[in-house]
Amino acid sequence: MSHEDNMESSLQDKLISLLESTGSDIGRLSATCCQPNKSERMQALLRSYKLVSQPNEEDSYADRLIEFVEETGGIVGSMHVTCCTPDREEIYQRLLNQVNQIFMLAWQLKGGSHE
């Protein structure tokens, strides 16, 4: 296996781990949502995560990850400032940190970096 293949495999392993953590935190956030039928933003967040966690040959995975990060960051940021409770603060912060890391790794997967 070449160095380039090892690097891509390592990036993918990191992404898988981050996506699993992100999915767990989205689940925690959903479970603590104060609205009985969940808000539209929570539903959009769950849909967005489900789409990025399923393989799709039709597009670049890195591009799909970047789109996921943009959508998720906007939703989580909005929820954080409008419906934050002390027990959810840590979840919001962790999610924002995770999507930032996913963003950086997605750009590396594309063969570049985001500066």
- Give the model confidence (pLDDT) of 11-68 as tens digits: 888 999 999 999 999 999 888 877 766 688 888 898 999 988 876 666 688 899 999 9
Neighbours of 44 (CB within 10 A): 14
Angle of helix 86-109 relative to helix 61-82, nearest 10 degrees?
A: 160
Q: Output the six-digit token pair for 53.
A: 């966690």
What's the pTM? 0.83
Q: How high is the pLDDT of residue 5?
A: 59
Instruction: Give the residue carrying structure tokens 């996913």.
Output: 102
C-alpha to C-alpha distance for 91 and 76, rounded to whole angstroms: 10
Supply φ then ψ for residue 7, to 5 degrees. -65, -45
Q: How high is the pLDDT of residue 94?
A: 95
C-alpha to C-alpha distance for 41 and 18, rounded to whole angstroms: 21
